[in-house]
């Protein structure tokens, strides 16, 4: 369960990115967060990732109060979240296998476990045959699949996707959304920030619309 | 820490070095210069100290007493002198011993010349004390003290040798601290810069690591490895050079100068096997320490949680 209560975020320049925001997201939900640029979507994701601290209010993720979380506990908390970005953020000097293994290696998973988990994850995202390819040898859709595999390899409870289809054509965007739906069906809470009205309408999921830092609508079943 | 994690950090650290090879080389060169100068000054200072020690133990102060003083009176003054804390060793040489020693030194093979003196001791008023100090830099004040003592006729000492060693020691010390200090500052700046560049190269990687939940230790480790490897390389190279140069210098000085100059036995160079273990230990501590601490503190700026 993610519980955002009365959260406000004002940046140093005085810019109010979030104003008294209240959102609840149940375990296993699939939620779209939509809104224009500057509506506060990205700030919300950053606060969930504990990259940015709210000015006031309370954020609870799976019974953990983020404001009371000591700095040393942040890495462990982040291991329960998976993150996917619009620009994929893959390591260009490493192949598909190494990019996915990287997420386990840096949190100290054993080499034996990594060898077991990575092929399984690549199978899930449909890239088993391309495990030796480097990012520049892959299409945008494939690169985003690698990024999703990397986000999922540590079995996160929540997957945060920031414009995951922003750099993809219609066909690839649909495939990525299908993949996210599959992941959600396995029990992972999925939160997708997007601009694409088309995708939102087609997916028929819960849609939270933000504008100027507040929720202007929260509808289930699609349409903004 | 898992062994695989250790190898991973080591590999990434070495990768960092290879990525910024020019910066890395500049860092290694500066640390090498710093450590080489350290080794050079260390060798010089150690040898000067060694020679000073030899001077202290072989060149003493000789105190002669007024004519007509009895041996008891001289021994009484000797007891007073012996109270001084600067003294390491003090030997009384009676007039008879002085005469015997003189004969042994100057009439060897011509004993008939000494026989002319019969029982008359020409050095009858040359009973003396030979004094060796713990620290040769205390010699001026000790001489001043002795000269003021009642009954003391003359104080013999080697002012030039003492002053020479003392001044040389100070000069080399100041010079080495100044030069090593400057080079140390340059090394710190260059390593810090190299680590900054490496961190900029790995910006995306570090961001991903942070968001995936890697600990600060895991993010920091490759950079610290990089700093330590740079420090290690920057130490091993000058140590090797110093080893070769010192061996050559020892054999050259020994064969060309020692026999002619070193009549007193003061000019003795410390053998390499005695000097090198201490010098390499301190140098490794210095080089690796610089690498470790500079990288550790530089990368802190990039560890925003």
Secondary structure in 3-state letters for chain B: CCHHHHHHHHHHHHHHHHHCHHHHHHHHHHHHHHHHHHHHHHHHHHHHHHHHHHHHHHCCEEEEECCCCCHHHHHHHHHHHCCCCCEEEEEEECHHHHHHHHHHHHCCCCHHHHHCCCCCCCCCCCCEEEEEECCHHHHHHHHHHHHHCCCEEEEECCHHHHHHHHHHHHHHHHHHHHHHHHHHHHHHHHHHHHHHHHHHHCHHHHHHHHHHCCCHHHHHHHHHHHHHHHHHHHHHHHHHHHHHHHHHHHHHHHHHHHHHHCCCCCCCCCCHHHHHHHHHHHHHHHHHHHHHHHHHHHHHHHCCC
CB distance B211–A79 less than 8 Å?
no
B229 CA: distance to closest CA in chain A (Å): 21
pLDDT category of residue B117 using cuts at 50, 70 and 90: low
CB distance B213–A78 less than 8 Å?
yes
Residues linked to residue B130 through DSSP beta bridges, in sequence order: B62, B91
Is the CB of residue A103 less than 8 Å away from at least one CB of chain B?
A: yes
Determine the average pLDDT of the residues in B24-50: 86
Is the CB of residue A91 less than 8 Å away from at least one CB of chain B?
A: yes
Per the CB < 8 A criterion, the answer to whether A181 and A30 are in contact is yes
Q: What are phi and psi of A219, to 5 degrees?
A: -120, 145
**pLDDT for residue B302 is more than 80:** no
Is the CB of residue A94 less than 8 Å away from at least one CB of chain B?
A: no
pLDDT category of residue B305 using cuts at 50, 70 and 90: very low
Determine the average pLDDT of the residues in A100-127: 91
Best mean pLDDT range from A186-190, B92-96, B165-169: A186-190
**pLDDT for residue B206 is more than 60:** yes
Please give the pLDDT value at position B236.
95
CA distance A126 to A100: 13
Determine the average pLDDT of the residues in A101-116: 90
Q: What are phi and psi of A210, to 5 degrees?
A: -115, 150
**pLDDT for residue B119 is more than 70:** no
Determine the average pLDDT of the residues in B141-149: 88
Determine the average pLDDT of the residues in B238-266: 77
A88 CA: distance to closest CA in chain B (Å): 10
Long-range (24+ apart) CB contacts under 8 A made by B299-304 are B299/B195, B299/B199, B299/B219, B299/B220, B299/B223, B299/B224, B300/B220, B302/B199, B302/B206, B302/B219, B303/B216, B303/B219, B303/B220, B304/B210
Least confident of A154-168, B2-16, B118-132, B257-271: B257-271
Determine the average pLDDT of the residues in B23-45: 87
Please give the pLDDT value at position B114.
62
**pLDDT for residue B113 is more than 70:** no
How much is the ipTM here? 0.82
CA distance A62 to B81: 85
Determine the average pLDDT of the residues in A133-156: 92
- Encoded tokens for A89: 């953020």
Question: What residues 30-49 of chain A have any CB closer than 8 A to a CB of chain B?
Answer: 49
Determine the average pLDDT of the residues in B18-46: 86
| Chain A residues inside the 8 Å CB shell of B303 | none
Determine the average pLDDT of the residues in B187-199: 83
Determine the average pLDDT of the residues in B33-49: 85
First to last CA, chain B: 21
CB distance A108–B204 less than 8 Å?
no
pLDDT category of residue A47 using cuts at 50, 70 and 90: very high
| Chain A residues inside the 8 Å CB shell of B207 | 89
| Chain A residues inside the 8 Å CB shell of B2 | 108, 110
What integer best gives the mean pLDDT of chain A? 90
Residue that is written with structure tokens 């064969």 in the block: B255
**pLDDT for residue B120 is more than 80:** no
Three-state DSSP state, A106: coil
CB distance A106–B209 less than 8 Å?
yes
| Chain A residues inside the 8 Å CB shell of B8 | 105
pLDDT category of residue B264 using cuts at 50, 70 and 90: low
Task: Tell me how far the alpha carbon of residue A9 is from its chain's centroid.
Answer: 20
| Chain A residues inside the 8 Å CB shell of B305 | 50, 71, 74-75
Please give the pLDDT value at position B271.
86
Other C-beta atoms within 10 Å of B218: how many? 22
CB distance B214–A107 less than 8 Å?
yes
Please give the pLDDT value at position B153.
86
Q: Which of A89, A107, A111 sits opposite B213 (nearest CB)?
A: A107
Determine the average pLDDT of the residues in B198-213: 85
More confident residue, B106 or A8: A8
CB distance A91–B205 less than 8 Å?
yes
Q: Find which of A99, A105, A106 to mutate to test the B interface (most B CBs within 10 Å of its CB).
A: A106
Q: Which of A50, A75, A83 sits opposite B214 (nearest CB)?
A: A75
CB distance A106–B210 less than 8 Å?
no
Determine the average pLDDT of the residues in A142-165: 92
CA distance A94 to B15: 13
| Chain B residues inside the 8 Å CB shell of A150 | 208, 212
**pLDDT for residue B258 is more than 80:** no
Q: Which residues of B92-122 are buried (b: 16+ CB within 10 A; e: fewer)?
A: ebbbeebbeeebeeeeeeeeeebeeeeeebe
**pLDDT for residue A224 is more than 60:** no
CB distance B212–A89 less than 8 Å?
no
CB distance A154–B204 less than 8 Å?
no
């Amino acid at each position: 369960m993610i519980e955002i209560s009365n959260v406000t975020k004002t940046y140093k320049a005085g810019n109010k990115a979030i104003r008294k925001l209240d959102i609840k997201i149940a375990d296993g939900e699939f939620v779209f967060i939509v809104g224009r640029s500057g509506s506060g979507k990205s700030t919300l994701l950053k606060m969930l990732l504990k990259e940015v601290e709210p000015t006031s209010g309370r954020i609870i993720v799976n019974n953990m109060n983020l404001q009371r979380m000591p700095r040393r506990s942040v890495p462990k908390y982040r291991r329960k979240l998976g993150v996917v970005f619009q620009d994929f953020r893959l390591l260009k000097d490493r192949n598909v296998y190494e990019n996915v293994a990287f997420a386990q290696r840096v949190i100290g998973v054993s080499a034996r476990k990594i060898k077991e988990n990575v092929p399984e994850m690549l199978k899930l995202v449909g890239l088993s045959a391309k495990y030796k390819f480097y990012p520049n040898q892959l299409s945008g859709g494939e690169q985003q699949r690698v990024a999703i595999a990397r986000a999922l390899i540590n079995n996160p409870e929540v997957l945060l996707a920031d414009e995951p289809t922003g750099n993809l054509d219609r066909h690839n965007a649909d495939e990525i959304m299908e993949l996210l739906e599959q992941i959600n069906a396995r029990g992972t809470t999925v939160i997708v920030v997007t601009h694409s009205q088309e995708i939102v309408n087609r997916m028929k999921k819960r849609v939270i619309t933000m504008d100027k830092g507040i929720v202007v609508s929260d509808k289930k079943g699609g349409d903004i | 820490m898992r062994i695989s994690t250790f190898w991973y950090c080591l590999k990434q650290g070495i990768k960092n070095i290879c990525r910024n090879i020019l910066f890395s080389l500049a860092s290694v060169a500066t640390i090498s210069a710093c450590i080489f100068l350290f080794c050079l000054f260390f060798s010089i200072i150690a040898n000067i100290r060694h020679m000073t020690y030899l001077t202290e133990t072989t060149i003493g102060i000789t105190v002669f007493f007024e004519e007509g003083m009895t041996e008891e009176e001289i021994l009484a003054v000797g007891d007073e002198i012996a109270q001084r804390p600067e003294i390491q060793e003090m030997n009384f040489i009676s007039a008879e011993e002085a005469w015997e020693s003189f004969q042994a030194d100057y009439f060897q093979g011509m004993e008939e010349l000494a026989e002319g003196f019969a029982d008359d001791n020409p050095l009858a008023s040359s009973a003396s004390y030979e004094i060796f100090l713990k620290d040769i830099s205390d010699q001026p004040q000790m001489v001043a003290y002795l000269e003021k003592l009642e009954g003391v006729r003359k104080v013999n000492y080697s002012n030039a040798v003492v002053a020479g060693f003392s001044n040389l020691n100070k000069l080399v010390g100041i010079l080495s601290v100044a030069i090593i200090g400057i080079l140390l500052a340059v090394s710190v700046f260059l390593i810090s810069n190299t680590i900054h560049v490496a961190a900029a190269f790995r910006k995306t990687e570090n961001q991903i690591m942070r968001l995936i939940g890697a600990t600060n230790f895991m993010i920091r480790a490759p950079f610290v490895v990089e700093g330590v490897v740079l420090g290690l390389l920057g130490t091993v190279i000058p140590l090797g050079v110093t080893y070769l140069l010192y061996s050559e210098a020892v054999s050259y000085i020994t064969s060309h100068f020692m026999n002619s100059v070193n009549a007193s036995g003061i000019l003795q160079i410390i053998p390499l096997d005695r000097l090198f273990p201490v010098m390499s230990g301190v140098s490794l501590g210095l080089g690796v320490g610089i690498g470790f601490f500079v990288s550790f503190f530089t990368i802190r700026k990039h560890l925003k949680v």
